[in-house]
A and B are shown apart, each in its own frame.
Chain A
Amino acid sequence: MKKLLLICMFVLAILPVLTRSAIAAGGPPADILKGVITEVNAADRTVVFEKGATKERLTLALPAEMKPEEVRLHKKVLVNLDKHASAPNVIKDISIMFMDMTLSKLLALLAIGGIGGLLSGFIGSGGAFVMTPAMMSLGVPGAVAVASNMCHKFPKAMVGAYKRWKYGQADVKLGLVMAATAIIGVQIGITIQKYILKMFGGAGSNLYISAVFMFVLVFVGGYVFLDALKLAKGGGEAKVGKLALRMQKINIPPMIHFKTANVTISAWVTVPVGVLTGMLAATIAVGGFVGVPGMIYVVGVSAVVASATELIIAFVMGAWGSVQWGLSGLIDIRLSLLLLATSLIGVQLGALGTTYVKDYIIKVVMATTMLIVAVSRGVKVPGYLADLELIQPIAPSTIAVLESISFWSLLLALGSAGLIIVVAMIKGMSADRRSKSTVTGVQHG
């Protein structure tokens, strides 16, 4: 108990220092202006922009391709300035901060929230990879989509973690150790990204993110998939892997015992797993895709405990991320709450679903999601290569087709994972009912 308190105090002490810009997927962008456009001067192609917080008035120039009549007045907007323009204060793009809510958009948010919640409750992470692009396709600016998703993710993870802790699956100590080290990893990840952006520009950075994304998702996802396949053939009883057994034999203090996970392991093993999770969270925004397999194959935790513990990590990191985005004032609470309306049901359904399925089903869902998501990023690579002039330029129509394949494969990943979970749950529940009725029959007979 004393150790747990010490860990909690360590986490609380380290968080404010390290999370100034530490959030999964990077910090809020500093070069975006938030405010209202109050006047448009069509003759000299300028607008008067009033900054939201300070009410400071700026005169900004419109870019050549933007028509003055397209600018919407007195609506809260995000203005992105063109850093590469010859003159200062030239607008790159303007996006309306709060999209107009229509019935179809509302239903889309509810549907994505529900399935994302189910996935999150079941495998510990998931949903973020599809929610942010889905919101952007509904007309939400990128920064607002990331912020609103983050603000919906942490209460969802909190409810899911609580449920799975009640089922005896979540290891709070492991979750806190992983979260604290993951935050250090986020800092390293952000530093690497900034360096790459400085050295190779936007396209280079995109290519780096895609390469990491593809490598991790194909390699780790493929490994999890093969393992799940082996388990399915062998009756589904998971054993601790060889690598994890070797890691558990490393006896370098401090040794930490994780009660729920039933593992005693050196901090020198858990810390790198946590740091890598954070680095990946900062790079590809889905740290859980390395955190959960890391806990399973390196630390030696069962898939059920690893996925439940991931929810604790998601809660800690998501909560601090939300505070950061909240400080920048970029959270559209309507989006967060609409996602929550169904995801709070989905996450609890997913959590209770884990009590009916064998351990390997969690691995099947995780691997399927990872491999399909890898496709979504893979199809974008040719575009980035062309931007870097490493291959011949690609026609805009081809780029559009690839973009649409990318988006629909994300939805396919979410849909297929949801389907596997529902089918496995129904099977598990009916098997449980049958066994109960057999017991009842024997007792009455």
Chain B
Amino acid sequence: MEATSHNKNMPAASGPAKSKPYLKTLIFGAISISAYVLLFNNEQLVTDTYTMGGWHWVFPVGTVFFFSFSHGAFASNLLSVLGLEAKKK
């Protein structure tokens, strides 16, 4: 299995460079920045609602889950665009 993936990756090193995920970076970046702007523009409402305690814990926990997917995907694609990828064994 490892040998196969190794062989698969070999031509990539010598052949033409793999296309970089510019579009994905832009889409996830736009989603992420819009979410940040939306949240910080409604700072008062957000901080008040999120700290009401009890079942309201779903707001902060749900929000960080959302950001970890959208902003996490943006960060992952951004690193690929910058050429920072894990070493292929």
Chain A residues with CB under 8 Å of B76's CB are 163, 348
Residues of A within 8 A of B (CB): 34, 52-53, 76, 97-98, 101, 151-152, 154-156, 158-159, 163, 167, 319, 322-323, 325-334, 336-337, 340-341, 344-345, 348-349, 351-352, 355-356, 428-429, 432, 436, 439-440, 443-444
Majority DSSP secondary structure for residues of B touching A: helix
Q: Is the CB of B36 within 8 A of A341?
A: yes
- Provide the bound-state CA to CA distance between A333 and B57, in Å: 11
Q: Is the CB of B46 within 8 A of A333?
A: yes
3 tightest Cβ-Cβ pairs between the two chains A and B? A326-B57, A329-B53, A155-B68
| B19 located at the interface, meaning its Cβ lies under 8 Å from any Cβ of chain A in the complex | no
**Given that A332-B47, A341-B71, A440-B13 are known contacts, is A352 also in contact with B64, CB under 8 Å in the complex?**
no
Chain B residues with CB under 8 Å of A333's CB are 39, 46-47, 50, 59-60, 63-64
Query: Is the interface on chain B under 10, 10 to 19, 20 to 34, or 35 or more residues?
Result: 35 or more
Q: Is the CB of B57 within 8 A of A323?
A: yes
Chain A residues with CB under 8 Å of B54's CB are 53, 327, 329
Chain B residues with CB under 8 Å of A432's CB are 87
Q: Is the CB of B87 within 8 A of A344?
A: no
Selected A-B contacts with CB under 8 Å, 27 pairs: A34-B51, A52-B51, A53-B52, A76-B51, A319-B61, A322-B64, A323-B57, A325-B57, A326-B56, A326-B61, A332-B51, A333-B50, A333-B60, A333-B63, A334-B43, A336-B60, A337-B63, A340-B67, A344-B67, A344-B72, A348-B72, A349-B79, A352-B85, A355-B86, A355-B87, A436-B13, A439-B14
Residue of A76, A155, A158, A436 contacting most chain B CB atoms (<10 Å): A155
B15: nearest chain-A partner, CB-CB: A440
Known contacts A53-B54, A76-B48, A344-B71; 15 additional CB pairs below 8 A are A34-B53, A52-B51, A98-B47, A155-B64, A156-B68, A323-B61, A326-B59, A327-B57, A331-B51, A333-B64, A334-B39, A334-B43, A344-B67, A345-B78, A348-B76
- Provide the bound-state CA to CA distance between A355 and B87, in Å: 6
- Provide the bound-state CA to CA distance between A162 and B69, in Å: 11
Nearest chain A CB to B20's CB is how many angstroms away? 15
Chain A residues with CB under 8 Å of B78's CB are 345
The one of A34, A76, A158 in contact with B68, judged by C-beta atoms closer than 8 angstroms, is A158
| B22 located at the interface, meaning its Cβ lies under 8 Å from any Cβ of chain A in the complex | no
**Given that A341-B71, A440-B13 are known contacts, is A329 also in contact with B64, CB under 8 Å in the complex?**
no
Nearest chain A CB to B13's CB is how many angstroms away? 5
Q: Is the CB of A345 within 8 A of B36?
A: no
| B23 located at the interface, meaning its Cβ lies under 8 Å from any Cβ of chain A in the complex | no
B68: nearest chain-A partner, CB-CB: A155
- Provide the bound-state CA to CA distance between A327 and B53, in Å: 5
B51: nearest chain-A partner, CB-CB: A329
Nearest chain B CB to A421's CB is how many angstroms away? 13
